[in-house]
Amino acid sequence: MDSLKITSELKFYPAIDDLNEADKELIKKAFAASEKAYAPYSNFFVGAAVRLSDGLELTGSNQENVAFPSGLCAERVVAFYAKALHPDKKINTIAIVAVGNDVSTEGIVSPCGSCRQALIEYEQNDQEPIRLLMVNQKMEVYESASVQNLLPYFFSSSAIARK
Q: Is residue 53 in some structural domain? A: yes
What is the tens place of the pLDDT at every residue in 20-47?
A: 999 999 999 999 999 999 999 999 999 9
Q: Is residue 88 part of a domain?
A: yes
Give me the domain span that covers residue 113: 11-157
Q: For position 19, which CATH number holds?
A: 3.40.140.10
Question: What is the pLDDT averaged over residues 66-90?
Answer: 95
User: Is 21 tagged catalytic?
Assistant: no
Cα–Cα distance, 74 to 55 (Å, whole number)? 20
- The helix/strand/coil state of 12 is strand
| pLDDT for the residue 162 | 66
Is 80 inside a domain boundary? yes
Q: Is residue 117 part of a domain?
A: yes
88-146 tens-digit pLDDT = 999 999 999 999 888 888 888 899 999 999 999 999 999 999 999 999 989 999 999 99
pLDDT at 163 over 70: no
Residues 27/15, Cβ–Cβ less than 8 Å: no
Strands (E), 77-139: 91-99, 131-135
Residue 67 lies in a domain: yes
Band of residue 156 on the pLDDT scale cut at 50, 70, 90: confident
Helices 113-126 and 74-85, axial angle in degrees (round to 10): 30
* pLDDT tens digits for range 8-24: 899 999 999 999 999 99
In this structure, is residue 3 part of a structural domain?
no
Is-above-0.85 flag for pTM? yes
Provide the number of structural domains found in the chain: 1
Cα Rg for the chain, rounded, in angstroms?
16
Q: Confirm whether 1 is domain-assigned.
A: no
Q: Which of 75, 123, 140, 143 is catalytic?
A: 75
In a domain, 72, yes or no: yes
